[in-house]
Amino acid sequence: MEAWHKRYWIYDDADDPPVSASIGDTVTAENFESASGQGFDVIIVPTVNKYWEDGSLGRLINDADGYRNIIQYRVSQAYLIAAEAYMKAGDPVTAQQYLDALRNARGGLASIPVTMENILDEHARELGLEGHRYPMLKRLGIWYDRVNANPDWSGIVLEHQVRWPIPQKILNTEASLMQNPGY
């Protein structure tokens, strides 16, 4: 987990030392009151706040890496796609090379067998919160099963919801179109 997520914050600002902690200490709920203007959300969900450029994390819009060139594909995604494609094409040796190259680039992680489950797990770790999960699971035809395997979502989504409804405006202009089933 530590390789993919920032799970805690450390006091490191010598110009603004904490009152109830020391430089190098981990920020906790107990010593947090001494942090200046960061907002408690930094501790609660630090991995999903990477695009906050409103000044609350000391960054403004001009410092906003999240609002500059928007990256649609990353090298890691290309490696995962290649591993999946080679595996499905019956070339597990090349598929393994792509998966190993990706894991090696992430700190020399040990090789794992190239299976669809391992590719999906690596995809979740590497591209988490970047908006690629739904299209991949939908493309593989396993979105509904994966969502319903989660106890928080089981029974909430229906099988037809793997496809979104076609907007009525489009249906009104194109008489030959039929609404997706279930809508």
Q: Tell me: the pLDDT tens digits for 117-133? A: 999 999 998 888 788 88
Res. 57: pLDDT tops 70: no
3-class secondary-structure state, position 108: coil
Q: What is the pLDDT of residue 3?
A: 46
Q: Tell me: the pLDDT tens digits for 22-43? A: 888 887 767 665 444 545 555 5
Q: What is the pLDDT of residue 1?
A: 41
Longest dimension (CA), the chain: 69
Q: What is the pLDDT of residue 131?
A: 83
Does residue 65 or residue 54 have the better pLDDT? 54
* Helices and strands, counts by H and E, the chain: 7, 0
Output DSSP code: residue 61: G
Lowest mean pLDDT among 66-80, 115-129, 138-152: 66-80
Q: Which residues of 23-41 are buried (b: 16+ CB within 10 A; e: fewer)?
A: eeeebeeebbeebeeeeee
Residue with tokens 């030959």: 176
